[in-house]
A and B are shown apart, each in its own frame.
Chain A
Amino acid sequence: MNAPDLVGQEEIEIVATVNGRAVKRRINARQHLADFLRHELELTGTHLGCEHGVCGACTVLLDGRTVRSCLTLAAQVSGKRVDTIEGLSDSGKLADLQKAFIEMNAAQCGFCSSGMLLTAYELVSAGEARSRAGIREFISGNMCRCTGYHAIVDAIASVMEKNAGKSRHG
């Protein structure tokens, strides 16, 4: 058996599942997940705002939970599952939320929308009832500089109500 590596490398190979597809790439260790998605995989729906974990624009799902892709190294997702706005749109999982966002004017410039939708998706998927204040708290890590949030809260609340109705009657 070879001596185990003790020094690491600046360039490493990663294998991950991105939007259901296996991806294998050689990357720089310093590359964060957002740059990996945008530059290597050309999945530019994930936006990059502040790049230090404040704005939430780069939110993606890692093994099913929201994370900041600017505060996650691409190297760290090797062996894990990443879902982005592209995959969740194509699969239809975001359809209800997207429809509600459009109907209620919850998107203006669109920069925050992918992150906002993914955070909303985590909330809606949890299936727990939330007050408007609770919804606001949940999306507090995602900044929107256009809508003033009311429309976004309206859209998320409408999907949650619809889902609650479904589970009551279904």
Chain B
Amino acid sequence: MKAPNFRYIRPTSLEHAYRILAESEDAVPVAGGQSLLAGLNMRLSAPKLLVDIGDLKDLAVSSESDGEVRLGALTRHCDLLQSDMIRKRLPLLTQAASHIGHVAIRNRGTLGGSLAYADPAAELPACSVALGATIVLGSLAGTREVKAEDFFKGLFETDARRGELILAVKIPAPRMRLSAGFAELARRHGDFALAGLAAVATLDQDRIATARLVYFGCVDRAKLAQSVSAAVAGLRLPATDCDAIDDAVGRDLAPDDSPGLRASTKLQMARVLTRRVLNALPDGVAA
């Protein structure tokens, strides 16, 4: 199908974009548009005005310091996949990016777009929570920072207010023995995940010291899996007896039945992924 009518504008500066968004009741920012435009073509939404922020250079700037990596909202999925800096300091994002759509999608889709869209089956919202990221928002009122954990409110729902734009994502990247694990199950590679898991952990020899696990695909929003994260602390790898962890997965996740996939199947997939990701953690240590 074709998208319904809308107006289009390409702001010439960040300030211009803020003013447009403040002025209009029904304006939606578009950058890569890989989710938004598919939804428009299928007439799932009908915004009156698309604000094309794709050329705003301020949003494309990334930087790194000792303890932190800051990624501009316009960082494309292909950039995550190809950047040596990301591979070295945030290997979780390199791993995750390879699962996002296909090449042509990754060439267009952006980090900020994925977070703003807040699809519960998307990779990057889950990664941002696992990594303890902070989302930087801007508007005419100034800038504001929100922890990724507090940003995702529900199905396609975020803490972003009307008139606000995601500017960047700040991710703690300590130079220490941090380990990342990522896996997802989809019917075909590049499809939406039926169940997925993003994990970051500190290892003490063959034991997990601390871990942050975030599921996607089988949840309504990206949030820290608190029971599982607590249950795996102190766990010796490779994990053999996983009953306690399986129980914790059941406490953290309450998936619904969906067409062709029972809730119990999703839970089982999440448990299998948990074992796979935990046991692969020693291989995923950041350089």
Instruction: Please indicate whether A and B come from the same complex rather than being unrelated chains.
Output: yes
Q: Name A's B-contacting residues (CB within 8 A).
A: 4-10, 12, 28-30, 32, 35, 51-53, 56, 59, 62, 65-68, 70-73, 75-76, 78-79, 119, 122, 137-138, 140-142
How many angstroms from the CA of A116 to the CA of B209 in the assembled complex?
A: 47
Q: Is the CB of B38 within 8 A of A30?
A: no
Report the separation of the CA atoms of residues A70 and B230 in the bound assembly, to the nearest whole angstrom.
45
Contacts of B104 in A (CB 8 A): 56, 59, 65-68, 119, 141
User: Can you list, as one digit per residue, whether each of B34-67 has a CB less than 8 Å from chain A (1) or not (0)?
Assistant: 1001101110000001111011000000000000
Chain B: interface residue total (CB-CB under 8 A): 41
Name 13 extra pairs, CB < 8 A, besides A68-B105, A71-B33, A75-B8. A7-B9, A8-B20, A9-B7, A10-B5, A30-B2, A30-B3, A52-B38, A56-B104, A62-B108, A66-B103, A71-B34, A75-B52, A141-B103
Q: B19 to A4, Cβ gap below 8 A?
A: yes
Which of A53, A62, A140 lies in contact with B38, CB distance below 8 A?
A53
The reply to whether A72 and B107 contact each other, CB–CB distance below 8 Å, is no
Q: Give every chain B residue within 8 A of A71 (Cβ-Cβ).
A: 33-34, 37-38, 41, 105, 108
Complex CA–CA separation, A36 to B174 (angstroms)? 48
Given A65-B107, A68-B108, A28–B5 Cβ distance below 8 Å? yes
The residue in chain B whose Cβ has the minimal distance to the Cβ of A141 is B102
Q: Does B241 make an interface contact (CB < 8 A)?
A: no
| In the complex, B6 has a CB within 8 A of chain A | yes
Select one of A29, A32, A67, A140 contacting B50, CB under 8 A.
Answer: A29
Smallest Cβ-Cβ distance to A69: which chain B residue: B104
With A53-B38, A71-B108, A141-B101 known as contacts, the answer to whether A30 contacts B6 (CB < 8 A) is yes
Query: Are A29 and B101 interface neighbours, CB within 8 A?
Result: no
Q: What would 5 A/B residue contacts be, using CB atoms closer than 8 Å?
A: A7-B7, A7-B9, A32-B3, A65-B104, A141-B190
With both beta carbons as reference points, the residue of chain A lying nearest to B15 in the complex is identified as A4
Complex Cα distance A53/B103, Å?
Answer: 12
Given A29-B8, A140-B188, A140-B189, do A8 and B1 touch, yes or no (CB 8 Å)? no
Interface centre among A30, A51, A59, A67 (most CB of B within 10 A): A30
Instruction: Write out the residue numbers on chain B whose beta carbons fall within 8 Å of the beta carbon of A137.
Output: 189
Distance between A14 CB and nearest chain B CB, rounded to angstroms: 10
Of all A-B residue pairs in the complex, the 8 with the closest CB atoms, nearest first, are A141-B102, A8-B9, A29-B8, A8-B7, A66-B104, A52-B38, A65-B107, A30-B3
Distance in angstroms between the alpha carbons of A71 and B55 in the assembled complex: 17
**CB neighbours of B55 from chain A (8 A):** 79
Q: A32-B3, A71-B37, A76-B52 are in contact. Are A6 and B19 (CB under 8 A)?
A: yes
In the bound assembly, the distance between CA atoms of A79 and B4 in angstroms comes to 24
Is the Cβ of A8 less than 8 Å from the Cβ of B102?
no
Chain A residues whose CB sits within 8 angstroms of the CB of B49 once the complex forms: 7-8
Tell me the nearest residue of chain A to B32, going by C-beta. Answer: A71
Interface membership of B23, Cβ < 8 A: yes
CB pair B8–A7 under 8 Å, yes or no, is no
A68-B105, A71-B108, A75-B52 are contacts. A4–B6 as well, Cβ < 8 Å?
A: no
Query: Is B12 on the interface with A (CB-CB < 8 A)?
Result: yes
Question: Which A residues are in CB contact (< 8 Å) with B108?
Answer: 62, 67-68, 71-72
Q: Of all chain B residues, which has the CB nearest A136? A: B189
Nearest-CB distance from B230 to chain A (Å)?
A: 36
Minimal beta-carbon separation of A138 from chain B (angstroms): 6
Could you say which residues of chain B place their CB within 8 Å of the CB of A7? 7, 9, 20, 23-24, 49
Whether A5 and B9, one on each chain, are in contact in the complex, defined by CB atoms closer than 8 angstroms, is: yes
**How far, in angstroms, from A54 to B14 measured CA to CA in the complex?**
32
Q: Nearest Cβ distance between residue A162 and chain B, in whole angstroms? A: 22
Contact: B188 with A32, CB < 8 Å? no
